[in-house]
Structure 1
Amino acid sequence: MERKHFLKNGLAALGLAAIAPLASACKKNTDTTTTDGSTTSGSTGSCTISPTETEGPFPTKSPGTLVKSDITGDRTGVPFTIKITITNKNNSCSALSGALVDIWHCDKDGNYSEYGGTSMQSTNYTSVHFLRGRQTTDSNGLVTFTSIFPGWYSGRATHIHVHVYNAAGTSLLVTQISFPEGSTSAVATVNGSGGTTYGYTKGMSGYTYNASDNVFSDDTAGMELSTVTGSLSGGYTLTHTINVAA
């Protein structure tokens, strides 16, 4: 069943979350203000703050309990390494050490842990916590996660959710990471005939590309677009830099 719209202010009301498509739930928020009072579209110094996005309908419920670098859990798929660097716009975009970075993404079938058994997601994964984790940035502003290549679901391009906090736990930015596309891209390869060996069976029919995705379609500067290298046999590595105001 197609996922339905998540109403952030109405989650406690339960049944209301199933009214509109999931794609609308992940709609872009363009009016968010950063902690220093500037908007996410503005820039200072040598870099621009990364775009702010909604957490979406499936944010991690207790991220502080999921401090781990290997977030695979019991999920199977193409091996995937995620390397995210956090920089501080307020310090000439130098590396931000000691920042808390939470990530989460769907499995190869498009399902999220910690949710399910509803019209938003029919498969019930409410009691498990796969493909979610928290790490603290090192002196280079880097966190590294071991995972599996994300699948996709109706209305959204392949993506990863990220929430960045300072060392004291104050939220700095919620954003999302998009993936390169094209006939030779990892997205096309994993979802092609070769990916079926690893359990990716959806193909690309009905896939929503970045240009039509209502979170990424206005990312004309490519600030949310990652770099993905590797192969099916050897696994893929994603690298991406996120700029915050700390």
Structure 2
Amino acid sequence: MERKHFIKSLLVGSLSVPALLTACGKEADTLTPASDSAGSDSCSVVPSETEGPFPTKVPASYVRRDIRDGKAGYLLTATLTITNSNAGCAGLAGALVDIWHCDAEGNYSEYGGTGMQSTNYTGVHFLRGRQTTDANGQVVFTSIFPGWYNGRATHIHVHIYKADGTSLKVTQIAFPEGTGSAVAAVNGYAKGLNGYTSNAQDNVFSDGVALELATVTGSTTAGFVLAINLAVPA
């Protein structure tokens, strides 16, 4: 069951966006790993989170490693390790893993032209993909560092299925924040971080991100590397 209800009416004055979500800087030097990302190594089952409001409409159509589709942004290589909490947290081979996230401006593909997202991206499918876990339970995606939009911290959506398509978990990945973090280095791209919602204030992550917080290292010049372990009951 979802811990938090994400959709909530927000008034965004400075960006002139009329409803709850708006679209998602400077360079920085190499980062050091954040000390609060130890939860990614836990065998505890990752919490369930909301899938919406912009889930992939036909995820089976986007089986691919590189999900950029020409979208500009700092390179992000994301390694997700899916483990089975019912088998001593051994790597879960053959699972389907879908991810999706917003672009540098905070917009999602497959949606738009509404109060929730004014920019119309209904005809494109960037920053969405599906892969099958290997023998170690891993998938690797090539993407860009996500931007942000009002009311939400930087995040990536994840939906994990059994090989037969049975849903195992819908969750989200959180990013370390603060001095020395990738979020600080990216600085919201051209948008900056003025008005950014932190993990502690985010209505999905505010009850804790210990099991959803990735380790993120790298730089704006070399690209960023994200790693996280997600335990699911399979």
| TM-score, reference length from structure 1 | 0.79
Distance, in Å, in 2 between the alignment partners of 1:20 and 1:241 is 34
Structural mapping, 1:1-246, within 5 Å: 5=7, 21-22=20-21, 47-191=43-187, 200-219=189-208, 222-246=210-234
- Give, in angstroms, the shift of residue 22 of structure 1: 4.3
- Give, in angstroms, the shift of residue 21 of structure 1: 2.7
Q: Give the corresponding residue for 2:15.
A: none
Q: Which has the higher helix share?
A: 1
Distance, in Å, in 1 between the alignment partners of 2:146 and 2:7 is 21
Distance, in Å, in 2 between the alignment partners of 1:47 and 1:81 is 23
Distance, in Å, in 2 between the alignment partners of 1:47 and 1:75 is 34
Higher relative contact order (CA 8 A, sep 6+): 2
Structure 1 runs of 4+ with >4 Å offset: none
**Structure 2: gaps (5+ residues):** 1-5, 10-17, 23-41
The percentage of aligned residue pairs carrying the same residue is 65
Number of residue pairs matched?
203
- Give, in angstroms, the shift of residue 20 of structure 1: 6.7
Could you tell me whether the CA contact under 8 Å between 2:46 and 2:211 is conserved in 1? yes
Distance, in Å, in 1 between the alignment partners of 2:106 and 2:74 is 14
Q: Give the corresponding residue for 1:34.
A: none
- Give, in angstroms, the shift of residue 165 of structure 1: 0.1
What SS is found at the alignment partner of 1:183? coil
Distance, in Å, in 2 between the alignment partners of 1:145 and 1:107 is 15
Could you tell me whether the CA contact under 8 Å between 2:19 and 2:116 is conserved in 1? no
Distance, in Å, in 2 between the alignment partners of 1:167 and 1:97 is 9
One-letter code of the match for 2:136? Answer: N
What SS is found at the alignment partner of 2:185? helix
**Structure 1: gaps (5+ residues):** 8-18, 24-45, 193-199
Give CA-to-partner distance per residue, 1:114-166, whole Å, 9 cap, x none. 00011110000000000000000000100000000000000000000000000
